[in-house]
């Protein structure tokens, strides 16, 4: 991916050096100027992708550079930094188009997250060269000729289409970047790909990236949860129409013809559809081996995901062994958030900036206590859980910064200590033996409760967060006794 061009405006030489050092790791070209006048001269010579400006909110003309950018260079993003809090000026800057307003000096992670978010919303101003065969996997989503609508892209990571509801895989964790690099390499291939990972780790976004790289000309992307085939969705409603899984399978292939068919939780497919899937993969392999280019038909590229251990399902007789070996040969595993270190802080800032803009809230960051709470949490719901927690916090926050209180009881930093002390005082409870099935179900119940609390008991959003359909969520809530006050809950 080509570099973006950043311009830092700061009257203090040491401040310029500090901000440049914080952003250097993003890998973009950085120019430095001491004032607005120098910035205007540089931008007129060559427009930039993003301007990071340190301004005094007490000056009446502190937003002049922002006004100029909106009028003359609307494609350039702007991030402002104030040396002191000024909620009114921050609101005005956001209304005038600033991507974010930060306190100067800001923590490096907070600054980088704001810049990544701003670049995601700003189109690249540099023309993409015609890709060579060697470059094509990395550049497949950057056509050489401009498209009518520029796609928003997180930087410095590979481009992604904006339509996914799955949280974008933003971060600097080496394991994540390795997976994204492999996804770029596989994008130009037609081979079936299996995506593994816990719920909420970004598998759907990876699927869309694979699709965009291989189908940058707007071919269809069809996503369906494996449990939605057949009459699964009608189990709780006897009046719901029954469906033929085979017909639905063929309909999905037809809708995705020439594009990508993404099947979530492939382990939930019934035996008949597992056979259909295996036949389709074998047919595509035979067509590729014979050199046929799909003139007789337009096959859909198959991308499959799972949060289960498919090898275990094979041992239990619930998944075909031959199908498992066929799809497991090309596999990407999304890392869980708890293993991604500083990405928690980076993603939290990304979501904070996004929801502050969406809800028009003057929230410019997190307090240190709040960040400590975020770092300590183990995130069983992964990035999707973090997204829901930050969204809730932005809505509840009426000040400039999110505090630990806004993060809710599920992230209470004292809860674990209280539980440990309680168990220590009652060792007979800590050693109590429960049936294995009940013990294994407890983590699932807690994950569901945490997700429901984070999303104000909205079942539709909770199902999306947990990457299951609403019927499955309803069954599990009923199983765990969470439907007592059902009429009061909002979908």
Spell out the SS3 assignment of 108-138. HHHHHHHHHHHHHHCCCCCCCCCCCCCCHHH
In a domain, 287, yes or no: yes
Q: Give residue 74's pLDDT band: very low, low, confident or very high (50, 70, 90).
A: confident
Domain co-membership, 227 together with 318: yes
pLDDT at 434: 45
By mean pLDDT, which of 80-84, 265-269, 475-479 is the weakest? 475-479
pLDDT of residue 156: 34
Digit-coded pLDDT (tens) for 433-455 = 445 555 555 667 777 877 776 66
CATH of the domain at 433: 1.10.10.60
Would residue 358 count as lying in a domain? Answer: no
Say if residues 245 and 273 touch (Cβ distance below 8 Å): yes
pLDDT given for residue 311 in this prediction: 92
Among 201-205, 405-409, 451-455, whose mean pLDDT is lowest? 451-455
Highest mean pLDDT among 57-61, 85-89, 110-114, 290-294: 57-61
Angstrom distance (rounded) from CA 314 to CA 336: 24
What whole-number distance in Å separates Cα of residue 240 and Cα of residue 31? 61
Please tell me whether residues 235 and 322 are part of one structural domain.
yes
Give the chain's domain count: 3
CATH of the domain at 296: 3.40.50.300
Strands (E), 258-342: 260-264, 301-306, 331-333
* Range with the poorest average pLDDT among 230-234, 276-280, 290-294: 230-234
152 and 81 in a single domain? The answer is: no
Helix axes 108-121, 13-23, angle to 10 degrees: 70
Alpha-carbon distance values, 147 to 3, 141, 210, 216, 352 (Å) = 19, 11, 19, 10, 30
Of residues 110 and 292, more confidence is placed in 110
DSSP structural state of residue 202: S
Q: Which two tokens stand for residue 38?
A: 């120098």
Q: Is 254 a domain residue? A: yes
Which span out of 83-92, 404-413, 416-425, 479-488 was modeled with the highest average pLDDT? 83-92
Question: Are 144 and 83 in a shared domain?
Answer: no
**Helix 436-454, helix 459-466: angle, nearest 10:** 120
CATH number for the domain spanning 64: value is: 3.40.50.2300
Work out the mean pLDDT of the chain and round it to a whole number.
75
Same domain as 141, residue 116: no
286 & 196 share domain = yes
Do residue 180 and residue 306 come from a single domain?
yes
Query: What is the SS3 assignment for 374?
Result: helix
Which runs of E-coded beta strand occur in 365-431? 365-366, 401-402
pLDDT band, very low/low/confident/very high, at 134 (cuts 50, 70, 90): very low
Confidence of residue 236 (pLDDT cuts 50, 70, 90): very low
Best CA proximity match to 143, nearest among 161, 130, 154, 160: 130
- Say if residue 112 is in the same domain as residue 143: no
Lowest mean pLDDT among 67-76, 173-182, 404-413: 404-413
Q: Residue 217's pLDDT is what? A: 64
Asked whether residue 452 is domain-assigned, the answer is yes
459 domain-assigned: yes
- Are 76 and 146 found together in one domain? no
Dig out the tokens for 214 from the structure: 């291989």
At residue 251 the predicted structure's pLDDT band, cuts being 50, 70 and 90, is confident
Q: 233 and 113 in one domain?
A: no
3-state secondary structure of 31: strand
> Cα–Cα distances in Å, from 340 out to 200, 309, 331?
14, 21, 20
- Verify that 151 and 78 share a domain, yes or no: no
Domain assignment present for 351: no
Residue 145 within any structural domain of the chain: yes
Task: Determine contact, residues 304/225, Cβ cutoff 8 Å.
Answer: no
Domain for residue 295, yes or no? yes
Considering the domain architecture, whether residues 120 and 193 belong to the same structural domain is answered as no
Burial pattern 373-398, b for ≥16 Cβ within 10 A else e, equals bbeebebbbbbbbbbbbbbbbbeebe
Boundary of a domain, candidates 333, 367, 395: 333
Domain span at residue 29?
A: 1-126
What distance in Å separates the CA atoms of residue 391 and residue 380, rounded to the nearest whole number?
A: 17
pLDDT tens across 306-353, in order?
A: 998 999 999 999 999 999 999 988 899 999 999 998 889 989 998 998
The residue out of 277, 309, 333 marking a domain boundary is 333
Q: How far does Cα 462 stand from its chain's mean position?
A: 16
What is the length of the chain?
A: 491
- Asked whether the beta carbons of 8 and 39 are under 8 A apart, the reply is no
User: Shortest CA distance to 89 belongs to which of 105, 70, 103?
Assistant: 103
Q: In the prediction, which pLDDT does 48 show?
A: 92
């Amino acid at each position: 991916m080509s570099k973006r061009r950043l311009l830092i405006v700061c009257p203090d030489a040491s401040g310029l050096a500090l901000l440049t050092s914080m952003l250097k790791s993003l890998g973009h070209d950085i120019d430095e100027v001491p004032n607005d006048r120098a910035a205007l001269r540089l931008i007129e010579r060559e427009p930039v992708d993003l301007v990071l400006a340190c301004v005094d909110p007490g000056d009446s003309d502190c937003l002049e550079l922002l006004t100029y950018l909106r009028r003359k260079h609307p494609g350039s993003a702007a991030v402002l930094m104030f040396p002191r809090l000024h909620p009114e000026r921050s609101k005005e800057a956001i209304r005038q188009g600033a991507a974010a307003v930060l306190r100067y000096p800001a923590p490096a992670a907070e600054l980088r997250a704001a810049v990544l978010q701003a670049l995601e919303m700003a189109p690249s101003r540099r023309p993409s060269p015609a890709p060579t065969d060697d470059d094509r996997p990395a550049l497949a989503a950057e056509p050489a000729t401009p498209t009518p609508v520029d796609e928003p892209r997180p930087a410095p990571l590979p481009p992604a289409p904006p339509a996914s509801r799955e949280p974008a895989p933003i971060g600097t964790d080496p394991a994540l970047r390795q997976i994204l690099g492999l996804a770029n390499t596989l994008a130009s291939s037609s081979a079936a790909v299996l995506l593994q990972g816990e719920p909420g780790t970004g598998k759907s976004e990876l699927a869309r990236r694979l699709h965009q790289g291989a189908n940058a000309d707007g071919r269809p992307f069809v996503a369906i949860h494996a449990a939605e085939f057949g009459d699964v969705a009608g189990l709780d409603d006897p009046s719901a129409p029954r469906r033929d899984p085979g017909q639905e399978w063929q309909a999905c292939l037809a809708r995705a013809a020439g594009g990508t068919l993404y099947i979530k939780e492939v382990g939930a497919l019934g035996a008949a559809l597992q056979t259909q899937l295996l036949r389709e993969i074998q047919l595509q392999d035979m067509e590729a081996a014979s050199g046929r280019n799909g003139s007789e038909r337009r096959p859909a590229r198959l991308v499959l995901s799972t949060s289960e251990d498919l090898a275990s399902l094979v041992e239990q007789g619930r998944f075909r062994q031959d199908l498992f070996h066929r799809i497991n040969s090309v596999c990407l595993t999304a890392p869980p958030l708890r293993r991604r270190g500083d990405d928690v802080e980076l993603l939290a800032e990304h979501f904070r900036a996004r929801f502050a803009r969406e809800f028009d809230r003057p929230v410019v960051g997190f307090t240190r206590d709040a960040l400590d709470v975020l770092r300590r949490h183990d995130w069983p719901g992964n990035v999707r859980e973090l997204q829901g927690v930050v969204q809730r916090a932005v809505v509840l926050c009426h000040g400039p910064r999110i505090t630990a209180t806004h993060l809710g009881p599920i992230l209470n930093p004292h809860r674990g200590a209280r539980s440990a002390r309680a168990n220590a005082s009652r060792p007979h409870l800590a050693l109590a033996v429960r049936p294995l099935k009940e013990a294994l179900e407890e983590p699932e119940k807690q994950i569901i409760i945490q997700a429901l609390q984070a999303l104000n008991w909205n079942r539709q959003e909770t199902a999306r967060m947990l990457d299951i359909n609403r019927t499955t969520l309803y069954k599990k809530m009923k199983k765990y006794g969470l439907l007592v006050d059902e009429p009061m809950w909002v979908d």
